[in-house]
Amino acid sequence: MDEGLLYGHYLDRGEGEEAARAAVAAVRALEGDLARDGRTLGSATQDDIAAHVARLVAAGENGAPRLLALARYFRLAGRPDLYVYFTRLFGGRGVLASIRERTVEREGEAVAAEVFRDVQDPPLGTPPEAMPETVRRLMAGFGRALPPERTRAALCGNHHRIPVDSFRGERERYLAAPSLDAYLADLHVRRVEELARHAADGTVWFEQRITPRVVDFVRREPEILSAVRAEDALYATKIPYDPDGWVAAADPAERRYLACHCPFVREAVRASAEDGAPPLPPSDWCHCSAGFEKVLFDTILGADLSVEVLASVLLGDDRCRFRIRLPEGVR
């Protein structure tokens, strides 16, 4: 292990020596675990990492700082495959708590208690394969307690808790633009340029590996990473979770799996192609993704916009697409 690589990263971030030492110790513990199986940090596979994390969960040693240290190490060490695996483990963190809070706000504590009666928040580090059952239980709870339209409203929030302040610059750009259409076109150009930079230097963009063909694909799709306005609505299509794999894939089932971002259901999408697989979670769950997709537009327009799911992998589509209703008077 190159201790200085990780230690210096923590100091550069201003997180202090204690945090840096704890991070190095976390990676050293993984290194020792791997050595017992004849592996090294350089040769570790995703299965090796999953086994180590499972041991941490069983021992109650799966705190966020520890897992984050491992994720950061693999990113710094040039193992984007393992870094992305850790991002999957963090992807659903706080989502269920946020859904419960929104359900309480909209429907009251008694209804929320019934919805979540059989639901437990999976511990951090839970393998992705175990997540779909949580959604099945949650959606069964919503089915007992609320009609579909109120379920969708509860799900359709900012459940990943994206800070609204992070969009302050985008709101300023929108207010300075001659029209919403001009802002959307500029947004798409800027997002494509951002992808091109990641393709050029080989760095991970959020959870995605970006290649020149991904850049070309997004450049041709103005709904991706922006939206297209048609009359009183915006139409937005989500970039696939694994965009390079998605562009190359020919098998429809594989494309659906590669499209799905949701850490709670993604592995159910893959398993659904197998004989005897459990049914997919209800497609209304995708209103959680719809809520994520509209946060930017809620912020720049200063409104809580309504949104519909037009296509999703849980509906059998190979991409996710949304219609976001605009308020009256948007120029």
Over residues 286-306, the mean pLDDT reads 95
Q: pLDDT tens digits for 164-184?
A: 889 999 999 999 999 999 999
Share of the chain above pLDDT 90, in %: 84
Are 320 and 313 spatial neighbours (Cβ–Cβ below 8 Å)?
yes
Q: Which pLDDT does position 141 carry in this prediction? A: 97
Contact call for residues 324 and 297 (beta carbons, < 8 A): yes
* Closest of 206, 213, 180 to residue 331, by C-alpha: 180
In this prediction, residue 278 carries a pLDDT of 83
The radius of gyration of the chain from alpha carbons, rounded to an integer in Å, stands at 21
Question: pLDDT category, 7, cuts 50, 70, 90?
Answer: very high
pLDDT at 273 > cutoff 80: no
Q: Is the pLDDT of residue 140 over 90?
A: yes
Residue 32: pLDDT band by 50, 70, 90 thresholds? Answer: very high
Tell me how far apart the alpha carbons of residues 295 and 300 are, in angstroms, rounded to a whole number. Answer: 9
188 membership: H or E segment, kind and range: helix 180-201
Task: Write down the mean pLDDT value for the chain.
Answer: 94
Closest to 229 measured CA to CA, from 305, 140, 123, 289: 305
| Domain spans, the chain | 3-89, 95-155, 164-325
> How much of the chain exceeds pLDDT 70, in percent?
100
Rounded mean pLDDT, 103-116? 97
CA dihedral 176, 179, 180, 185 (to 10 degrees): -90
Stretch (H or E) spanning 324: strand 321-325
Q: Angle at the Cα of 69 (from 68 to 71), degrees rounded to 5?
A: 60
pTM: 0.87
